[in-house]
Structure 1
């Protein structure tokens, strides 16, 4: 596969902007508070006209669209207005409410409340209307309506003190496209955990920005949860990304077991419950780790292949909850590689715990990665089973067409027959890039539809499996186009792995690349966990011909 370099995805999941595309909310009166109106709204238009008229003569001003519709361009225009108001150097005004803006707002404004400069209040009131809350007609006076709306906004964020003013961190949360009401597809338990994170860590603005409370598990929500765990582990500058320091801290922690409770210190039990909920587990929301909690942990451990499935919140379990590839040091019972297996290399894999190995049916260009003559006999003699992978390139959206699917399955059938693979063999066809939902709909699904139809028309000599990020595999399973999945969790930073559980039909979970052995036994391979849904092949019909 070509996931050697794991990157953070090409675009962020930006709250509501990506979550409810195509969901129309007609006007402010028909939109629940916390959801930006999607169609025309006269007060949003008034906010857009006000910000453009007031700041349009500033250097390099980027106007808000005057269309009465909330969107990223309108929100960033309000942030740019705020940056001008607090005296930011015009050359660095950019509409991003980052640490520099937060510092200036804290120093120059403090809490946004009655008596603050009129333009600051108008910016906040404009943000309220963009979120669907009323704001005293953007009059620049912190009246009763604005105060009630701010109290409601803060309550929706998860803040329960009833205050009707905005701290700088809360103002930052207002001036986003984040939603603070349950969105279509959202889960109430997820929203409760999001609100708890906001409530617990709102006082740490240096590393915790107020996050959405919309019930959707996205890159943003996961990053805030990881940051909270890092903070409680003693990492003073949380990053929201699981790295070596986070893994080391999780490994050192005493496992959480039945009866453990948060008692005024670090809330690790609640953080573990939040992590379970974010991973689609029905964990109780409590500060005590109960038998029901342990049952949900055990269910998760069993599903993702963590052993022993003991129901305890140990380091491996924490890692698998917080990041797609989990702890890369954990044991593996399967592998895949592009290097031909000699007896010495096969012995290295066996010594590493592998019982089944993925190998390629074909090459890509001059890269000689396919099964070599006699290699299958070597694999079987070493006590290994094998699962075949078909990939030529498959690493861009343009590759995936129906015509390519028909051609690939014909080539895969010919190659598999040439090696003597039996008819019950599952061939894994690769989607070797970070396919977005639009890519999946327009390319990947038509490709696999044509591929499976061609396989069926040929008499179903083999079964179709899929390799790719979690969302690709989930979509293909739901469409009935792949019997099992070979999941590219090694690409843990890809958008298609963030906020998605493992597909229920996963057979192999690829999570780390390692190099083991010395001299002629040295081999680089990917560590996998095998679920047992595909045991691989222990023999072929024509070993002598391979």
Structure 2
């Protein structure tokens, strides 16, 4: 196979089948290693097949079929590794023809080396940004052939068709660049704006952000994303703001860019804008943000409504989703559909239902904790609730408290918390006129804590502990995911863990149902995909990626909005308890 030949799917599947045969059916079975002919030999054979010649690739029958890789990304990877291997700080990227953070960060390091930055680092920070701005050369003006190669390679990684000879800035290259500008919401025809935005565009090229609609992305979200770039990066020029992705997803980076744009519209000094929901932003929302809205500030409020869609309306013993209409974003009119959605959102979020843009509504739209000063009837803690403490909680207005069924550490362990429910404690809670909801957490703070087997084991333990305390059948036990689990973590470990919990409870007769504690995304996915009954949302962890760009799950029962010291040495999590949701434990089996 020649260097410039491309392997199609039939050939790759045939090679995959051959490897399976050699491993399982040959008289002398082959091992698991897969290496190219060039491994240890001075040859380019097998050309572009080299990017598949590794364990775990699409031709490895022990791995999932992942389809074809990209020969142009492969070429960029090989060239980058060969060219910058000796550059201080450089880290090789995999030569597999697949775009990923490792590849774009290696391209970034190559660019840094060409710009005279040493040692190179795997981050496009202010130093790299300023070096690109100082050089002030778009690719068509660039005289350094290596930089041209890096730009072409980055465009291939973005999925744009550019020069097949990556050392040349071709007509295809130019068309790809102009498309990227347009897809990001920027003007290429305006020469001054084009040049001014170039460092921002290079930074975007050297990241995994997408600027075209991706599968599952929302076209109206993309319109908002492009407007953020056009107004606040290209137009206003907020110093701290980078281009936001324009892929149709409301993600962490979009959330931060949105917050920066909102801070500008609220009148915060442009050099103080940072994208955080801090005291200055909160004060501005209580003032200017809570008054009559028009123009760009009104647009931002309604865009925030759209990002939190759908909300849910209770009807006929259940609830139905209600989506915010995209047409309401761009009008100043208080349309009936806008007001209806806003009131439904307020009711669903359990904040005052008034159909206005007051501070509490802004906070609920912007951060998972919402207005942390609002009253809440629920709490949870690691402290034993004695009769005296139960009376204090009741006097403070609390109606329900979350307590842990067990603790995985022995009392002799230095990290022991003593958080487990104590004998007689459930009765003390109920006798004070409170209810409680059971929690179960054996560590649960990192990926390795979650496997199917651990879920099954802990599901059994939770059942036996709950039954031992006389907790009645039908009670929901919340199992904790106490860290910022990403989608890949949810797929690989968190869902299998909850499948184990579900199986264990089922094997014991389904006396108890299971709920989930975690970020909005964790709660939503475990509920929809595994069947958790209720969600206890870790809303106070508003910086979690799983709480940014995700609405409250439909089945939320508690929203944990802040942590504070209720009494000296006694910390509480302040939980909004949703009316009509999980009733908790209000009686015990005798």
Q: TM-score range by the shorter chain?
A: 0.7 to 0.9
Cα deviation for residue 418 of structure 1 reads 3.1
How many Å apart are 1:529 and its aligned residue?
0.8
TM-superposed deviation, 1:287:
5.3
Kindly report which structure 2 residues correspond to 1:328-347, keeping only aligned pairs within 5 A, or say none.
328-347=372-391
1:270 positional shift: 1.9
Give the Å deviation of 1:324.
1.9
Cα distance, 1:228–1:418 mapped onto 2, change above 3 Å: same
Q: Once the 2 structures are TM-superposed, how far is the Cα of residue 174 of structure 1 from its aligned partner?
A: 2.4
| 1:226-253 per-position Cα deviation (integer Å, ceiling 9, x unaligned) | 2222343415333333333333333333
What is the aligned partner in structure 1 of residue 439 from structure 2?
389
Measured after TM superposition, the shift of residue 192 of structure 1 is 1.5
How has the CA–CA distance of structure 1 residues 162 and 492 changed in structure 2, closer, same or farther, with 3 Å as cutoff?
Answer: same
SS of 2:141's partner is: coil
What residue in structure 2 maps to residue 528 of structure 1?
A: 575
Tell me if 1:219 matches 2:219.
no
Q: CA RMSD in A?
A: 3.2
CA contact (8 A) 1:45 1:67 kept: yes
CA contact (8 A) 1:276 1:283 kept: no
Shift of 1:463: 2.3
In structure 2, the CA distance between the partners of 1:128 and 1:383, relative to structure 1 (3 Å rule), is same
In 1: Cα distance, 2:142 partner to 2:556 partner: 56
Q: Where in structure 2 are the equivalents of 1:350-429 lying within 5 Å? A: 350-365=394-409, 366=411, 367-429=417-479
User: For 1:369 and 1:341, how far apart are their aligned partners in 2?
Assistant: 10
Q: Tell me, what secondary structure is at the counterpart of 1:514? A: strand
Matched, 1:312 2:356: yes
The one of 163, 176, 199 equivalent to 1:168 is 199
What is the TM-score of this pair, normalised by structure 2?
0.75
Q: 1:82 to 1:348 in 2, by over 3 A?
A: same
Describe how 1:269-280 pairs up with structure 2 within 5 A: 269-280=298-309
Supply the distance in 1 between the matched residues of 2:153 and 2:346 (Cα, whole angstroms). Answer: 47
Aligned mates of 1:223, 1:95 — CA distance in 2: 22
Does the CA-based 8 Å contact 1:253-1:314 persist in structure 2? no
- State the SS of the aligned residue for 1:510: strand
Q: Which has the larger radius of gyration?
A: 2
**Cα distance in 2, alignment partners of residues 96 and 392 from structure 1:** 36
- Aligned-partner SS, 1:511: strand
- Once the two structures are superposed, residues 430-451 of structure 1 have per-residue CA deviations (whole angstroms, 9 ceiling, x without a partner) of 2333333344334333333333
Segment drifting more, 285-294 vs 269-278: 285-294
Pick one of 115, 130, 133 that aligns with 2:141.
Answer: 115
Q: Structure 1 residue aligned with 2:348, among 303, 319, 332?
A: 303
- 1:193 equivalent among 224, 234, 241: 224
Q: 1:226 to 1:289 in 2, by over 3 A?
A: farther
Partner of residue 461, structure 1: 511
Structure 1 residue 238 and structure 2 residue 273: aligned? yes
CA–CA distance in structure 1, aligned partners of residues 397 and 165 of structure 2:
66
CA distance in 2, matches of 1:249, 1:424: 46
Residue 155 to residue 290, structure 1, CA distance change in 2 (3 Å): farther
Bigger relative contact order (CA 8 A; separation at least 6) = 1
Per-residue Cα deviation, 1:454-495 (whole angstroms, up to 9, x for no partner): 323433322222222223322221134321111222333333
For 1:252 and 1:482, locate their aligned partners in 2 and report how far apart those are by CA, in whole Å.
40
CA contact (8 A) 2:139 2:151 kept: no
Deviation digits for residues 304-346 of structure 1, max 9, x if unmatched?
Answer: 222x122222222222222222232222121111212234433
Residue 98, structure 1, aligned to residue 122, structure 2: no
Report the Cα offset of residue 384 of structure 1.
1.8
In structure 2, what is the Cα distance between the partners aligned to 1:425 and 1:66?
A: 52
Aligned counterparts of 2:381 and 2:261: Cα–Cα separation in 1? 36
Match of 1:293 among 338, 344, 348: 338
What are the superposed Cα offsets for residues 486-538 of structure 1, whole Å, 9 maximum, x if unpaired?
Answer: 122233333333332222111111121112347xxx74210001113112232
Q: Is the 8 A contact 1:269 1:289 kept in 2?
A: no
Q: 1:540 to 1:283 in 2, by over 3 A?
A: same
Which digits, 9 at most, give the CA deviation of each residue in 1:152-207, with x for residues without a partner?
21111112564474522222222322111111121112211111111112232631
- Report the equivalent of 2:116: 87
